């Protein structure tokens, strides 16, 4: 339908409406003007360079949607301590539009973090050795947690070829449930860890990158590499607060099928939680302690 046809159609509909409401007296000129206005907004293609404000840029801790609050400052002070969505100005299920849009935006970011891949350029830039578990795609990865922890022969061979056998420490990076977490933190955490280890004359060799990685994927790597300590950085299941949270799972001589309690965890590594550089520095201390005590997880405490 071209513009003229559209205009004509709207005109006739409006005409009938006016007649039906007995508003014949409206001057024809005015009527046409209104029709034109309507036609413009529907048919023409005005390109604007303006952007809609990005709602996910708003710091929720500083946003109070309650109308006429009794104590705005007090409420904001309270909100500054939590990432919870307080002060949305409504109770029950009918949120304000802003809240609904933000909720959906955050949810979308969380889903993207799960379903997207870590940029291969990042893997290359960091000099990681890329390997993958037996999962063939994200769907299999999501639905079969048991597949996210085993390697086929070809990948086992790549791991074997690239790790220094019997090293003190093997570092592994896995996409896990958030590729965004790896992209946001890995550049800062790896050098901070390296620098922290230097204090104790410790170091690590090539870093493995595991695609479709579940936490226990570190166990076969431990067995293949015969490393004393395996440290896995993995993307955490994203929530609505952040999609960029990463954890480190660290174990002393991990073996396939070992109890989960043997893993030491440092979670919440993201810019609103523990800064990546501080986490790297802190993990260096944990690893040194682990090597000294020859144990990990709850036994280490």
Partner 1 sequence: MDKETLLTVGIDLGTSTTQLILSELTVENFASAFTVPRIEISDKKVIYRSDIIFTPLINQVEIDENKIKEFVALQYDKAGIVKDDIKMGAVIITGETARKSNSSKVLQALSGYAGDFVVATAGPDLESIIAGKGAGTETLSREHRGNIVNFDIGGGTSNLAMFRAGDVVDTACFDIGGRLIKIDSDSHTITYIAPKILEIIEKKHLSLAVGNHVVPEDLMPIIDELVNALEQSIGLGEETPFYNLLITHHDLKIKTDVNAVTFSGGVADCIKADNVTDWFQYGDIGLLLGNRIKNSLFFTKCHVLDTVETIRATVVGAGSHTAEVSGSTISYTDEILPIKNVPVLKLAKEDEQLKASELAAQIRSKLDWYLTDDNQLTNVALSFQGIKSPSFADIQRYAMGITEGVAKLREAGFPLLIIVTEDMAKALGNSIYSMLPEKSPFVCIDSIVAENGDYIDIGTPVAGGNVLPVIIKTLVFN
Which residues of this protein are in contact with partner 1, per CB under 8 A? Answer: 71, 73-74, 77, 187-188, 191-192, 195-196, 198-199, 265-268, 271-282, 284, 298, 301
Q: How far is the CB of 252 from partner 1 (least distance, A)?
A: 16
Instruction: For residues 17 and 38, give the distance between their C-alpha atoms in angstroms, rounded to a whole number.
Output: 15
Instruction: For residues 258 and 221, give the distance between their C-alpha atoms in angstroms, rounded to a whole number.
Output: 13
Q: Please say which residue, 59 or 146, places its beta carbon nearer to partner 1.
A: 59
DSSP-derived pairing of the beta strands 246-252 and 169-174: unpaired
Alpha helix positions (H), the chain: 3-20, 28-43, 72-79, 97-115, 120-125, 138-143, 153-162, 179-198, 218-225, 276-293
Q: How far is the CB of 253 from partner 1 (least distance, A)?
A: 21
Tokens (6 digits) for 159? 């791991």
Q: Please say which residue, 42 or 298, places its beta carbon nearer to partner 1.
A: 298
Q: Please say which residue, 123 or 266, places its beta carbon nearer to partner 1.
A: 266
Q: Please say which residue, 163 or 286, places its beta carbon nearer to partner 1.
A: 286
Q: How far is the CB of 232 from partner 1 (least distance, A)?
A: 14
Burial class (CB within 10 angstroms; exposed 0-12, middle 13-18, buried 19+) of 128 = buried
Could you write out the DSSP letters of every residue in 67-94?
Answer: SS-S-HHHHHHHHTT--S----S--TT-
The dihedral of CA 160, 164, 170, 176: what is its sign?
negative
Q: How far is the CB of 273 from partner 1 (least distance, A)?
A: 7
**215 labelled binding-site residue:** yes
Q: Please say which residue, 165 or 199, places its beta carbon nearer to partner 1.
A: 199
Q: How far is the CB of 182 from partner 1 (least distance, A)?
A: 15
Binding residue ranges: 215, 236
Binding residue ranges for adenosylcob(III)alamin: 215, 236
């Amino acid at each position: 339908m071209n513009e003229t046809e559209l205009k004509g159609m709207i005109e006739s509909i409006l005409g009938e409406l006016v007649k039906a409401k007995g508003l014949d007296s409206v001057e024809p000129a005015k009527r046409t003007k209104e029709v034109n206005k309507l036609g413009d907004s529907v048919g023409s293609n005005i390109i604007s360079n303006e952007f809609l404000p990005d709602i996910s840029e708003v710091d929720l801790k500083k946003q109070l949607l309650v109308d006429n609050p009794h104590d705005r400052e007090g409420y904001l002070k309270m909100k500054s301590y939590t990432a919870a969505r307080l002060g949305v100005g409504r109770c029950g299920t009918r949120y304000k539009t802003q809240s609904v849009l933000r909720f959906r935006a955050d949810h979308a970011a969380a889903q993207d973090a799960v379903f997207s891949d870590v940029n291969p350029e990042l893997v290359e830039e960091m000099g990681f050795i890329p390997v993958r578990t037996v999962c063939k795609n994200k769907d299999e990865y999501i639905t079969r947690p048991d597949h996210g922890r085993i390697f086929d022969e070809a990948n086992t061979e790549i791991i074997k070829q690239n790790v220094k056998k019997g090293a003190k420490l093997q570092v592994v990076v896995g996409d896990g449930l958030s590729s965004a977490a790896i992209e946001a933190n890995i550049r800062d955490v790896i050098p901070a860890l390296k620098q922290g280890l230097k204090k104790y004359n410790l170091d690590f060799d090539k870093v493995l990158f595991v695609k479709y990685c579940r936490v226990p994927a570190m166990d076969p790597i431990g067995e293949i590499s015969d490393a004393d300590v395996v440290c896995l950085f993995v993307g955490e299941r994203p929530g609505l607060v952040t999609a960029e949270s990463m954890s480190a799972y660290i174990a002393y001589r991990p073996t396939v099928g070992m109890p989960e309690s043997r893993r030491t965890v440092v979670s919440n590594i993201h810019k609103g939680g523990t800064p990546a550089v501080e986490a790297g520095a802190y993990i260096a201390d944990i690893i040194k302690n682990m090597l000294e005590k020859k144990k990990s997880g709850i036994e280490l405490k």
